[in-house]
Structures are given as C-alpha cells and as structure tokens.
Amino acid sequence: MPELCRFYGIIIRMFWRDHPPPHFHAIYGSHEALIEILTTEIISGSLPLGAHSLVSQWVSLHREELLAAWERARALQPVGKIEPLP
C-alpha cells in the first residue's frame, strides 16, 4: 500500500484499485481509519479525535491532490507524495 504522507505520527496510505468512495487509510499508533476524501468522514475504523482533526485539516489543504492520487491508484500508477501539515 503506497504511502502518501506522514505528519505528527499519522501515516497516510492508499491502496491500488481500492473500492469507492474515494478514500485513504490513516494510521495513528494502533488506530486505523478509512477516511472519505470528499467529506473527511470516517468510513470504518477509528482515530482519536485530535488525530482525526489533524487529518481533516490536511485533507482540506490537499483535497485535489488526494483525488488525483486516488485516480492514479485506481489506474495502478504511482500515487506520488503529498506535503505534510506544517
């Protein structure tokens, strides 16, 4: 599973040819959640509130890049990297 980004102990990954809706996996310690790109809602799993808040902020800055990475992953192309939160 390609890694898109790391920030504040959170790892963001995306599977190739994953199922809709467009989403990514956010891992923080022993927690893992699938986060919908368009809404930042947790589809499954869980994250602590603070980690989910940071992920939501990051998505709001990089939503277009995430959607482009989603399309590349669906086409089995390299997803690339996305800048972390400052």
pLDDT digit string, tens, across residues 45-86: 999 999 999 999 999 999 999 999 999 999 999 999 999 998
Number of domains the chain contains: 1
- Decide if 81 is inside a domain: no
- Decide if 7 is inside a domain: yes
Supply the pLDDT for residue 18. Answer: 85
Q: First CA to last CA across the chain, in angstroms?
A: 24
Q: Is the pLDDT of residue 41 over 90?
A: yes
Backbone angles phi, psi at 74, to 5 degrees: -65, -30
Of residues 9, 16, 22, 7, the one with CA closest to residue 75: 16
Residue 67's domain comprises: 3-74
- Decide if 22 is inside a domain: yes
- Residues above pLDDT 70, as percent of the chain: 100
8 A C-beta contact, residue 85 and residue 58: yes
- Decide if 12 is inside a domain: yes
Q: What is the mean pLDDT of residues 31-40?
A: 97
Q: Decide which of 44 and 18 is more confident.
A: 44
- Decide if 80 is inside a domain: no
Q: What is the mean pLDDT of residues 12-39?
A: 95
- Decide if 86 is inside a domain: no
Does residue 21 have a cis peptide bond before it, meaning omega lies within 30 degrees of 0?
yes
